[in-house]
Amino acid sequence: MSSRIWSHRSFLVTRPRGQGEKLADLLRSKGATVYHIPLIKVVSPTTWERLDGGLRWLSRLGGEELKVRAEARPISGRETAWFAWAIFTSRNAVDSFIRRRTELGIDLSAVRDNICFTAIGRKTAEAMEANGLKVDWVPQTFTSEGLIESFQKLACKNVKVLIVQAEEGRMEIRNWLTEAGAEVTVAPAYRVMPDAEGIEELRRLWKGKGVDTALFASPSAVESFVKGLEADGLLAKTREKTLWTAIGPVTAASLREFGLIPSMIAEKSTEEGVVEGLERYFARSD
Q: What is the pLDDT of residues 7-65, one digit of tens each?
A: 889 999 999 998 899 999 999 999 999 999 999 999 999 999 999 999 998 888 754 34
Q: Among 23, 1, 26, 27, which Cα is nearest to 14's?
A: 23
Question: Domain coordinates of the chain in residue numbers?
Answer: 3-39+195-285, 49-192
For residues 247 and 274, what is the distance between their CA atoms, to the nearest angstrom? Answer: 7
Longest dimension (CA), the chain: 65
Asked whether the predicted pLDDT for residue 71 surpasses 50, the reply is no
CATH class entry, domain 49-192: alpha beta
How does pLDDT run across 157-208, given as a tens digit for each residue? 778 889 999 998 888 888 888 888 888 999 999 999 999 999 999 999 999 9
Best CATH choice for the domain 3-39+195-285 from the list 3.90.420.10, 3.40.50.20, 3.20.20.140, 3.40.50.10090: 3.40.50.10090
Highest mean predicted confidence (pLDDT) among 13-27, 78-92, 114-128: 13-27
Instruction: Kindly give the interhelix angle for 249-257 and 219-230, rounded to the nearest 10 degrees.
Output: 20
**Do 3-39+195-285 and 49-192 agree at the fold level?**
yes
How does pLDDT run across 211-232, given as a tens digit for each residue? 999 999 999 999 999 999 987 7
What pTM value is reported for the model? 0.80
**Beta strand ranges found along 54-182 (DSSP E):** 84-88, 115-119, 160-166
Amino acid occupying residue 76: S
Asked if 92 and 58 touch (Cβ cutoff 8 Å), the reply is no
